[in-house]
Chains A and B, each alone.
Chain A
Amino acid sequence: MSWMAWTTPTALFFTFIAVLLAGMTAWELRAPSVPRRGLLPIATTRGDRLFIGLLGSAYWHLMVIGLTDWSIWTATALSVVWLSAVMRWG
């Protein structure tokens, strides 16, 4: 495993993603989600909205890093807002 060069932050990041996916699976098993039409132009299920939220978050981070001198935590805060907004109203 040494060739994978793990660090604590990346390990935490992947644990977070894994927990998120497991949680979504459990939620989906208990209460299957129905596709619905929100602010986004297509009908989406919870899983779709999670994906859109995460992909958007990645781009928010890249934008903040590439275009500004702000701290990376600004981007993270921005992403949390974005993710919850997409999950709730997307």
Chain B
Amino acid sequence: MHARKLVVLIVFVAFLLVPIYWLLNMSFKSNTEILGGLTLWPRDFTLDNYRVIFTDPAWYGGYLNSLYYVCLNTAISLSVALPAAYAFSRYRFLGDRHLFFWLLTNRMAPPAVFLLPFFQLYSSIGLFDTHIAVALAHCLFNVPLAVWILEGFMSGVPKEIDETAYIDGYSFPRFFLGIFLPLIRSGIGVTAFFCFMFSWVELLLARTLTSVDAKPIVSVMTRTVSASGIDWGVLAAAGVLTILPGMLVIWFVRNHVAKGFALGRV
């Protein structure tokens, strides 16, 4: 029985890792080797592809732009979602279920639907091609998700804690910041991770709302693909570098990530 489980797991993990290995492998090859024939590992190990990315401002600027709006988005999403999630988990108020459902529909709505008006909206208020525009646009799906996950985590905290604190004379802000938030530390970490992740991987809105100054790495990559003569090696290296931030972040929340994926509901 255990052997069979192990086989299933190993096959699946191999299925996940082989395409990534191939990307990694290509990023260390020169273009002549890539196009010359199939080699399972780089015969002629080179770091040139990475050197191109770290010396060309168009490439590394893309990473900085992406990181900037992703962090901005995570901060905005968390700061508005925390009080809202508390309200949803503790109180019943007029239209609460309908409001929650409405938030949810925004997580479900295809970004393609909002493409045109977003472009017009942010152009008309002069935010086109700024980091804050992308951060605000990504709030459309990240804020509902953050509320959803945090609400799950907060519902797991017994209500007696709130009541005791209020009896002890704590005001709401002092209780919320001083006692409640430390209790759901892990939930906040996981939520930040999810906001980071979904903002990091999104392409359509980020590409539509930027042109030069805030151009994200994902869009730098697609424009390279469409150009004549693809530089496979650099493309692979750029791909590898987009995977790294996520891997770094997941390390910090590894013990809570499964619960986060279940939206705090188990």
Contacts and interface: CB of A to CB of B under 8 A. Distances in A.
A binds B: yes
Interface of A: 3-4, 25, 28-29, 47-48, 51
B121 A28 contact: no
Interface in B233-249: none
Contacts of B123: 3
A25 B93 CA distance: 11
Contact of B94 (A3, A28, A48): A28
A48 B121 CA distance: 31
14 contacts: A3-B120, A3-B123, A3-B124, A4-B120, A25-B94, A25-B95, A28-B94, A28-B95, A29-B94, A47-B95, A47-B97, A47-B98, A48-B98, A51-B98
Contacts of A51: 98
Interface residues of B, number: 8
Given A25-B94, A51-B98, 13 more contacts: A3-B120, A3-B121, A3-B123, A3-B124, A4-B120, A25-B95, A28-B94, A28-B95, A29-B94, A47-B95, A47-B97, A47-B98, A48-B98
Interface in B106-141: 120-121, 123-124
Contacts of A28: 94-95
- Binding site secondary structure of chain B: helix
A3 B94 CA distance: 34
A59 B121 CA distance: 28
A51 B100 CA distance: 14
A51 B97 CA distance: 12
A32 B123 CA distance: 43
Contacts of A4: 120
Nearest to B125: A3
A29 B93 CA distance: 10
> Which 9 pairs across A and B sit closest by C-beta, in order of nearness?
A3-B120, A3-B124, A47-B98, A28-B94, A47-B95, A25-B94, A29-B94, A51-B98, A25-B95
Interface string B71-103: 000000000000000000000001101100000
- Residue among B95, B97, B121 with most chain A CB within 10 A: B95
A4 B117 CA distance: 8
Contacts of B98: 47-48, 51
Nearest to A51: B98
A4 B124 CA distance: 10
Contacts of A48: 98
A26 to B, nearest CB: 10
A47 B102 CA distance: 13
A7 B98 CA distance: 28
A10 B16 CA distance: 49
A29 B95 CA distance: 10
B173 to A, nearest CB: 28
